[in-house]
């Protein structure tokens, strides 16, 4: 009897997982992006004060700013996803889901252009530290983009 019910139980469990809201558990991904962007902003600021070349300072200033901006965006999406995950009332879930869609739309509006601009900016830099940090920021932006698209 026990073995005959194991397959239907596993099937039901798989269907429940598949039917779960897409945003469920998403806040943890955005928390990691938030932490990474903050870390990169700090590293870029440190490198800025160590750099001597005006061109490097310009790029590092841009890296600091873009990292801080995307840290705030990740923080906003993280909080909206977290609220949605803990919402009990269907009406409230619908409201938060609509707000999250709007945040998603606004977040994704300029992200591909920002990624391309930053990738082009850091690609030809002479400083290995700057190039490495720039590539880390670009990669985190791509992860953030993918996670945002999957909401």
Q: Give a yes or no: residue 14 inside a domain.
A: no
DSSP 151: -
Residue with tokens 């870029």: 44
Q: Considering the entire predicted model, what is its pTM?
A: 0.78
Give the domain extent around 68.
23-149
Q: Give a yes or no: residue 4 inside a domain.
A: no
Find out whether 140 and 124 touch, Cβ atoms under 8 Å: no
Q: Give a yes or no: residue 67 inside a domain.
A: yes
- What are the pLDDT digits (tens) for 76-126? 999 988 888 888 888 888 888 898 899 999 999 999 999 999 999 998 888
- The domain tally of the chain equals 1
- What are the pLDDT digits (tens) for 40-53? 999 999 999 999 89
Instruction: Find, among 110, 111, 136, 108, the residue nearest to 122 by Cα.
Output: 136
Q: How far is CA 133 from CA 22, 56, 70, 129, in A?
A: 31, 12, 15, 6
């Amino acid at each position: 009897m026990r073995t005959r019910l194991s397959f239907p139980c596993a099937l039901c469990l798989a269907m429940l997982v598949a039917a779960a809201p897409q945003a469920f558990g998403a806040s943890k991904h955005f928390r990691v992006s938030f932490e990474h962007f903050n870390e990169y902003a700090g590293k870029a600021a440190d490198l800025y004060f160590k750099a001597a070349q005006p061109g490097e300072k310009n790029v590092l200033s841009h890296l600091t700013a873009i990292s801080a901006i995307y840290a705030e965006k990740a923080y906003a999406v993280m909080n909206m996803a977290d609220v949605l995950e803990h919402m009990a009332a269907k009406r409230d879930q619908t409201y938060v889901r609509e707000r999250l869609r709007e945040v998603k739309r606004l977040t994704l509006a300029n992200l591909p252009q920002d990624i391309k601009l930053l990738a082009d900016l850091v690609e030809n830099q002479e400083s290995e530290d700057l190039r490495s940090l720039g590539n880390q920021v670009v990669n985190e932006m791509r992860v953030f983009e993918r996670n945002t698209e999957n909401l």
